[in-house]
């Protein structure tokens, strides 16, 4: 209905205050008094108040009175014109959480063979009806409003596998929504599904404890990207089950799939978002491609990764099986979670159940948009924070995930992030939490944002280290060089990047990376920034970049395919570019097996020598020494008190010059990029090369 055709609106804007907007085209917007009628009891109250501003063709009135939220009311003016009282804006009041915060752990559907209880938090609604069906068996059940705005009902019937939605009524309007706490759903969020949790009890493999985050080597990959390439010969292409196949090989006979990751030696597999996202049709998953940073539901796995997205049990069981199979190979699972925004501010279960509550607004009531996706989650709202915590707990307990990578973490408030860590660590002492600490323009004071600048306020939370990225490979501008691409003016900055030098409160907070799903690959960037060089030289620079990433103090992070010089053909934002651009290219893996083997060596070196994994600054400063050699080469000198070698000297030379250094004869070369040798107490490090020496 067009606003100009409506003559009166009435909103509850506080718990004792109603705002009425009366059209200036209707009695000049003048009414001497108003009446509030309870439609359940027919009780009528006379309301008087003061006229306030005139705006957009309406005269506003503020009327003080008491009312019961969730009850149907109508407001009448002095001439008999009437409209329903709208509660939706009440969720933006400061007192809303005090009135309606619900700390129970029983929201959603809870099944037994004899009965199922349904509970939904919807304090602004005036009616909630459960619509539930299986095949032709369709029923409607009204829910009873209880304490804190929780509606509930118990159906004494075996409802295993039934589909359901809630019909949320707000006065004369109603809307259908899936259950934000449901354990499963059908394709494209059509309906939620009642699940017998006894059928999806998690069975898992025990894992060796992760004592310190610096013991981790993180490998980022998308579920679809991992297995979709024909050359990898994985049967369940683009599915969770693609991670469950063993013994798979490429067409050239090299290991693919999980056997390959096992061989490579990574400790953590970070998965691009696997919660239900909006932009791939789950019934036709091959028609569109998306990374998944457009969440539709946080509570269930993405259906395009399931063999049958309409099977509520498969949605859970196949996701569980993927996690279990990764664990079987002694690797942990990190989920990329997008708790900063949703795909559609209106078409999601949170907004439908409690309008205006779950999304952050500025002082003018406008939606905050620090995410650049049209909305930001209101993480300081108590029930929004509780929902995030409840979903994080579900992914840990029901699916067995071992940590979270938080997308655009700078939009989320510090208290919420610390609570996620505390809850996660209480469930699992090896829990990891890290994310993007960029300072986004969300409607939250800078002091409350989980940004890199505020890392001292989140001592157990890691941050993607953009200083490391921009120093080592160069910034995201394609033509600008970094240290490993030949800008030796950045030698001193590279030294700082390798050893952090107190940028973070803890070494364990530094997630060292030079490539991730965002932006161009390192290989593609070097084609532009180093286009004057031949391909072999650029390949060596890519390997230099990987070596510095893996061996630096902090937590190394590798993007899938980076270890075999992955390319997206110059695409710098491939979020919807399709499989041809985003797939893990197993044929390229075979082509650059020499690079893969070098990366495997660097990972093994890190895992078996604690000097690359110091987690205490004092310990690191006593055992790590790093020098600028002739303003071009980095000498990375490490000592340790255990292991086969007690001392390492590693040389990174991105310049074209042959640099000669003196070195003791009892050092031996464990790795050299250009067949360097130690002779007569000297080592010649060739141009664009690196050498690992130890004794």
Query: Please, what are the averages of pLDDT over each run of 10 residues along the chain (695 residues)?
Result: 74 95 94 95 92 92 95 95 95 94 97 98 97 96 97 98 97 95 97 98 93 98 98 98 98 97 98 97 96 98 98 98 98 98 96 97 92 97 98 98 98 98 98 98 97 98 98 97 98 95 92 98 98 97 98 98 97 97 98 97 98 96 96 98 96 98 96 95 97 98
CA distance 388 to 372: 21
Whole-structure pTM value: 0.96
Looking at residue 581, its pLDDT comes to: 97
Q: Could you tell me if 145 and 218 are in contact, meaning their C-beta atoms sit under 8 angstroms apart?
A: no
pLDDT of residue 4: 58
Domains and CATH numbers, the chain: 3-86 (2.60.40.2320), 98-177 (2.60.40.10), 622-694 (2.60.40.1180)
Half-sphere exposure of 179 (CA within 13 A, CB side): 29
In this structure, the number of other CB atoms found within 10 A of the CB of residue 204 comes to 12
pLDDT attached to residue 3: 55
* Catalytic residue IDs: 407, 436
Question: What pLDDT was estimated at residue 385?
Answer: 98
C-alpha–C-alpha distance, residues 62 and 81, integer Å: 17
For residue 114, what are the contacts with CB-CB under 8 A and spacing of at least 6?
156, 158
Give residue 568's pLDDT: 97
State residue 402 phi and psi, 5-degree precision.
-110, 0
Q: Are 432 and 216 in contact (CB under 8 A)?
A: yes
* Of 609, 612, 561, the residue nearest 587 (C-alpha): 561
Cβ proximity of 320 and 328 under 8 Å: no
Q: Which two tokens stand for residue 680?
A: 């007569």
Structure tokens at 140: 């409607």
Number of neighbours of residue 689 by Cβ within 10 angstroms: 23
Per the CB < 8 A criterion, the answer to whether 334 and 404 are in contact is yes
């Amino acid at each position: 209905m067009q606003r100009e055709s409506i003559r009166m609106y009435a909103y509850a804007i506080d718990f004792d205050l109603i705002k009425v907007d009366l059209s200036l085209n209707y009695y000049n917007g003048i009414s001497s008094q108003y009446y509030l009628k309870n439609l359940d009891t027919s009780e009528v109250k006379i309301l008087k108040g003061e006229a306030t501003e005139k705006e957009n063709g309406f005269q506003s009135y503020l009327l003080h009175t008491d009312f019961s939220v969730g009850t149907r009311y109508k407001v009448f003016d002095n001439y008999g014109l009437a409209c329903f009282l709208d509660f939706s804006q009440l969720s933006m009041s400061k007192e809303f959480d005090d009135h309606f915060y619900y700390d129970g752990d029983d929201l959603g559907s809870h099944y037994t063979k004899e009965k199922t209880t349904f509970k939904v938090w919807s304090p602004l609604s005036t009616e909630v009806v459960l619509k539930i069906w299986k095949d032709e068996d369709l029923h409607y059940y009204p829910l009873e409003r209880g304490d804190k705005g929780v509606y509930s009902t118990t159906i004494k019937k075996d409802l295993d596998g039934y589909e359901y939605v809630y019909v949320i009524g707000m006065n004369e309007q109603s809307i259908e929504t899936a259950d934000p706490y449901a354990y499963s759903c059908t394709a494209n969020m059509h309906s939620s599904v009642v699940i017998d949790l006894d059928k999806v009890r998690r069975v898992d493999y025990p894992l060796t404890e992760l004592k310190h985050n610096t013991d981790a080597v993180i490998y980022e990959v998308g579920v679809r990207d991992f297995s979709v390439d024909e050359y990898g010969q994985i049967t369940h292409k683009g599915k969770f089950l693609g991670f469950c196949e063993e013994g798979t090989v490429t067409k050239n006979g090299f290991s693919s799939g999980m056997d390959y990751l096992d061989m490579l030696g990574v400790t953590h597999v970070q998965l691009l978002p696997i919660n239900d996202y909006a932009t791939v049709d789950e019934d036709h998953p091959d028609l569109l491609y998306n990374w998944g940073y457009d969440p539709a539901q946080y509570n269930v796995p993405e259906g395009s990764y399931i063999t049958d997205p309409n099977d509520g049990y498969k949605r859970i069981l196949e996701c569980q099986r993927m996690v279990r199979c990764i664990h079987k190979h002694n690797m942990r699972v990190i989920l990329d979670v997008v708790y900063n925004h949703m795909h559609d501010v209106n078409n999601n279960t949170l907004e439908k159940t409690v309008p205006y509550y779950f999304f952050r607004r500025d002082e003018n009531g406008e939606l905050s948009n620090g995410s650049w996706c049209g909305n930001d989650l209101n993480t300081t709202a108590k029930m929004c924070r509780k929902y995030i915590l409840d979903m994080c707990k579900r992914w840990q307990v029901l699916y067995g995930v071992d940590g979270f990578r938080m997308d655009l973490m700078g939009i989320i408030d510090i208290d919420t992030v610390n609570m996620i860590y505390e809850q996660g660590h209480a469930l699992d002492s090896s829990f990891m939490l890290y994310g993007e600490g960029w300072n986004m323009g969300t409607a939250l004071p800078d002091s409350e944002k989980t940004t890199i600048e505020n890392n001292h306020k989140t001592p157990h939370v890691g941050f993607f280290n953009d200083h490391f990225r921009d120093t080592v490979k160069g910034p995201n501008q394609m033509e600008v060089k970094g240290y490993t691409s030949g800008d030796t003016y950045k030698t001193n900055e590279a030294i700082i990047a390798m050893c952090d030098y107190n940028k973070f409160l803890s070494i364990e907070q530094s997630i060292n990376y030079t490539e991730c799903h965002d932006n161009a690959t390192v290989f593609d960037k070097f084609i532009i920034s180093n286009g004057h060089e031949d391909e072999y030289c650029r390949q060596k620079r890519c390997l230099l970049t990987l070596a510095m990433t893996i061996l630096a103090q902090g937590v190394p992070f590798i993007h899938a395919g980076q270890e075999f010089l992955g390319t997206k053909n110059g695409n710098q934002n491939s979020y919807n570019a399709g499989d041809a651009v985003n797939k893990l290219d197993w044929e390229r893996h075979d082509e650059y097996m020499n690079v893969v083997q070098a990366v495997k060596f660097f990972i093994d070196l890190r895992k078996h020598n604690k000097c690359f994994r110091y987690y205490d600054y004092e310990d690191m400063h006593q055992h790590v020494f790093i020098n600028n050699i002739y303003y071009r080469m980095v000498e990375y000198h490490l000592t340790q008190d255990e292991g086969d070698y007690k001392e390492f000297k590693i040389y990174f030379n991105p310049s074209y010059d042959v640099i000669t250094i003196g070195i003791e004869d009892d050092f031996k070369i464990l790795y050299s990029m250009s067949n360097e040798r130690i002779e007569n107490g000297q080592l010649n490090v060739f141009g664009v090369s690196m050498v690992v020496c130890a004794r």
